Amino acid sequence: MTNDFYQKIYALVGKIPKGKVATYGQIAALAGAPRSARVVGWVLHILTEPQAKKVPWQRVINKEGIISTTCEDHPRDLQKMLLEGDGVEVKEKNGCLWVDLEKYLWKP
DNA sequence: CTTATGACTTTCA
DNA sequence: CTGAAAGCCATAA
């Protein structure tokens, strides 16, 4: 069951088109668990090495489009770089990186 | 098995 | 409208 949830999340994240971003709640909802946004974040946190390179985890952010990454292993600068590489404009507000959900939010 | 924590979200005051 | 607290799911200890 958890493994299935993982697979769903991976599939959903992998289905995010280039130049678009999605929120944890959205991914969780699409995975069948609207209240498991935290788990989505956890899944992306424990991504295995090969998957971290295959899955565009950088396109998954919180509901405000802000990168709330507190992990030192997941630098916001790296995510910003990856998003910019995908064609997503990452803005900076008060030292917090965020994306225009109105323009870059993935709407399946 | 119980407790604590987390890349979040939603609701109450 | 803003701020704080609880909730939910899964993993780690």
Which domains are present in chain A?
Answer: 3-104 (1.10.10.10)
- What pLDDT sits at residue A66? 92
pLDDT at A25 over 90: yes
Q: Which nucleotide is at minimal CA–C1' distance from A52? A: B7
- What pLDDT sits at residue A19? 96
Residue A48: pLDDT band by 50, 70, 90 thresholds? confident
0.85 surpassed by pTM: yes
- The residue written with tokens 């992998």 in the block is A14
pLDDT at A29 over 90: yes
Would you say A28 and A39 are in contact if contact means Cβ atoms under 8 Å apart? yes
- Assign A103 to helix, strand or coil: helix
**CB-based contacts of A25: which residues, under 8 Å, 6+ apart?**
A34, A37, A63
Å: A15 CA to B9 C1': 23
Which tens digit of pLDDT belongs to each residue from A70-91? 877 788 899 999 999 999 999 9
Task: Answer whether any strand C atom is within 7 A of the Cβ of A48.
Answer: no
Percent of the residues in chain A that have a pLDDT greater than 70, as a whole number: 99
